[in-house]
């Protein structure tokens, strides 16, 4: 396992469509996913997509820390942490507005509208098909990471750039919305 170099906003790989991973899934892909999980943890992230480590492949990893889940959401250990070729569809048009950050855009946070309730599909690292419904934070993380596979960053999804803030100033924003 290894820590991988992150690509930061401005690197062209973050703006490209990532390519599907061919099946059967190889050890190389499993190694990349393991390194991405290590890299995510070392940088205290909750999600990471392969283009963020300079790999133009449709692979994402994510964590669902218990503290971030809404009441009724399932615990983190029941959720796959790596997904190959993930796709999602909204289950309703309802949007939720929530704060996001990104390891490729260090220090900044902003309010992003996302579908509140989605269904997503993909393959686990052993090739098993995964299909899940997600709401709230879980749904947000999955949408953010799949966006990376299509060259989209959370800033592109913001509808009010006035909510864009540095982490160090975030308490002002949170005070205002409380």
Question: Which positions touch Ni ion (CB under 5 A)?
Answer: 102
Two tokens, residue 126: 């052993």
Catalytic, 176? Answer no
Q: Which is nearer to Ni ion, 102 or 146 (CB)?
A: 102
Q: Which is nearer to Ni ion, 50 or 102 (CB)?
A: 102
Residue 145 CB, shortest distance to Ni ion, in Å, is 7
Q: How far apart are CA 55 and CA 59, in angstroms?
A: 9
Q: How many Cα atoms sit within 13 Å of 8 on the Cβ side?
A: 4
Residue 178 CB, shortest distance to Ni ion, in Å, is 26
Give, in order, the Cα–Cα distances in Å from 151 to each of 120, 121, 124, 136.
19, 19, 22, 23
Task: Tell me which of 70, 94, 100, 145 is the catalytic residue.
Answer: 145
Residue 60 CB, shortest distance to Ni ion, in Å, is 10
Q: Which of 55, 37, 30 is nearest to 125 (CA)?
A: 30
Q: Which is nearer to Ni ion, 36 or 102 (CB)?
A: 102
Would you name the residues annotated as active-site residues? 145
């Amino acid at each position: 396992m290894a820590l991988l170099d992150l690509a930061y906003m401005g690197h062209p790989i973050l703006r490209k469509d990532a390519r599907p991973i061919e099946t059967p899934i190889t050890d190389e892909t499993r190694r990349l996913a393991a390194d991405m999980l290590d890299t995510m943890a070392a940088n205290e992230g909750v999600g990471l997509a392969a283009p963020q480590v300079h790999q133009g492949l449709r692979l994402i990893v994510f964590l669902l820390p218990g503290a971030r889940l809404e009441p009724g959401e399932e615990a983190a250990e029941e959720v796959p942490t790596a997904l190959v070729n993930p796709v999602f569809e909204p289950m309703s048009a309802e949007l939720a507005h929530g704060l996001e950050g990104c390891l490729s855009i260090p220090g900044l946070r902003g309010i992003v509208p996302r579908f509140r309730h989605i269904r997503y599909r993909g393959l686990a690292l052993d090739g098993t098909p995964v299909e899940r419904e997600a709401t709230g934070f879980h749904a947000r993380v999955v949408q953010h990471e799949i966006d990376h596979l299509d060259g989209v960053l959370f800033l592109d999804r913001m509808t009010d750039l006035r909510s864009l803030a540095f982490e160090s100033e975030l308490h002002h924003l949170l005070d205002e919305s409380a």
